[in-house]
């Protein structure tokens, strides 16, 4: 069976883990921002010494077939498993990216549980283990500011893939994968705590690192740096924004 997972560009393939094909040089990355200075400091002066450094912030584009190595086998298997479950692959999968020898399925949020369950249960796929969920915040990726990334591992076949879901900051809801991968319990709580992504269906989505009454989500890029002093063995360390002064 040929998978529906193809990118929008008619270009040459990228290499899979068992191949030696070159990276597609015709695919154009998605530029979401331009960073000035080493750390993208804005409005307060760049103290890094790299004030003239200008670097675009890019996301890898879709990859076209063939993906190379076993990537095509996994894509075909997922396509077949979703079809058997009555979920059109083209509706569930936004795009497929092969980047730096890693395979990532970008999944539309409502279909995340179905895709995860297909990857877990299908005997051709057998991704039995989810290694958690990581939050990413791209403030300039308008309408897709918050990303949730799930690394999956097949213990049976010794393979790894990733699922990625993008949601807007104004509506940061992603279906919980607790029912499919129960070990995601604390991982989803941590990602909610630090990034503000709401995992619908989680049995107890509460903060796990910060105090219950904490305001904001500390790992977002729009969260202010500093302002909170830290006590360490009786010595009080000033907040980061007060540790140094530049004239």
What are the pLDDT digits (tens) for 28-66? 778 888 877 766 556 555 566 666 788 888 888 899 989
Give the distance from CA 155 to its chain's centroid: 22
Confidence (pLDDT) at 155: 96
- What whole-number distance in Å separates Cα of residue 210 and Cα of residue 237? 19
Say if residue 134's pLDDT is above 70. Answer: yes
Measured CA distances, 59 to 9, 24, 207 (Å): 16, 14, 30
Q: What is the pLDDT of residue 16?
A: 46
Q: How many domains does the chain have?
A: 1
CA-closest candidate to residue 56, choices 29, 81, 75, 74: 29
40 domain residue, yes or no: no
> Residue 4 pLDDT > 80, yes or no?
no
The enclosing domain of 77 has a CATH number of: 3.30.460.80
User: Which tokens belong to 131?
Assistant: 């290694």
- What's 138's DSSP letter? -
Q: Report the pLDDT averaged over residues 200-225.
A: 90
18 in a structural domain: no
Within a domain: 28: no
Position 12 pLDDT exceeds 50: no
Within a domain: 36: no
pLDDT band per the 50, 70, 90 thresholds, residue 247: very low
Q: What is the mean pLDDT of residues 125-142?
A: 95
Query: DSSP secondary-structure letter at 221?
Result: T
| Residue 202 forms part of a structural domain | yes
Q: Could you give the 3-state DSSP secondary structure of residue 194?
A: helix
Which pLDDT score is estimated for 106? 97
Q: Which position has the higher pLDDT, 211 or 110?
A: 110
Query: Comparing C-alpha atoms, which of 88, 29, 75, 25 is closest to residue 55?
Result: 29
* Range with the poorest average pLDDT among 39-53, 59-73, 93-107, 185-199: 39-53
- Residue 31 is assigned to a structural domain of this protein: no
Q: Record the tokens describing residue 146, joined without a space.
A: 């918050």
Task: Compute the half-sphere exposure of residue 218: CA atoms within 13 Å on the CB side of its CA.
Answer: 12
**What is the domain range of residue 175?**
58-236
């Amino acid at each position: 069976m040929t998978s529906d997972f193809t990118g929008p560009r008619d270009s040459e393939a990228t290499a899979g883990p068992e191949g030696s094909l070159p990276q597609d040089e015709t695919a154009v990355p998605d530029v979401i921002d331009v960073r000035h200075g080493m750390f993208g400091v804005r409005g307060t002066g760049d103290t890094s010494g790299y004030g003239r450094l200008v670097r675009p912030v890019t996301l890898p584009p879709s990859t076209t077939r063939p993906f190379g190595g076993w990537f095509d086998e996994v894509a075909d298997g997922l396509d077949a498993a979703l079809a058997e479950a009555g979920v059109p692959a083209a509706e569930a999968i936004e795009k497929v990216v092969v980047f730096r020898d890693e395979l990532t399925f970008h999944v539309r949020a409502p279909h995340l549980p179905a895709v995860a369950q297909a990857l877990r249960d299908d005997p051709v796929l057998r991704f039995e283990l989810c290694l958690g969920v990581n939050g990413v915040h791209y403030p300039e990726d308008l309408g897709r500011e918050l990303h949730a990334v799930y690394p999956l591992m097949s213990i049976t076949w010794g393979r790894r893939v990733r699922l990625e879901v993008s949601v807007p900051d104004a509506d940061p809801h992603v279906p919980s994968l607790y029912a499919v991968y129960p070990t995601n319990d604390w991982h989803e709580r941590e990602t909610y705590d630090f990034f503000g992504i709401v995992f619908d269906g989680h049995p107890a989505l509460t903060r796990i690192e910060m105090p219950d009454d904490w305001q904001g989500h500390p790992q977002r890029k729009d969260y202010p740096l500093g302002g909170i002093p830290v006590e360490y063995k009786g010595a009080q360390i000033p907040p980061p924004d007060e540790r140094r002064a530049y004239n």
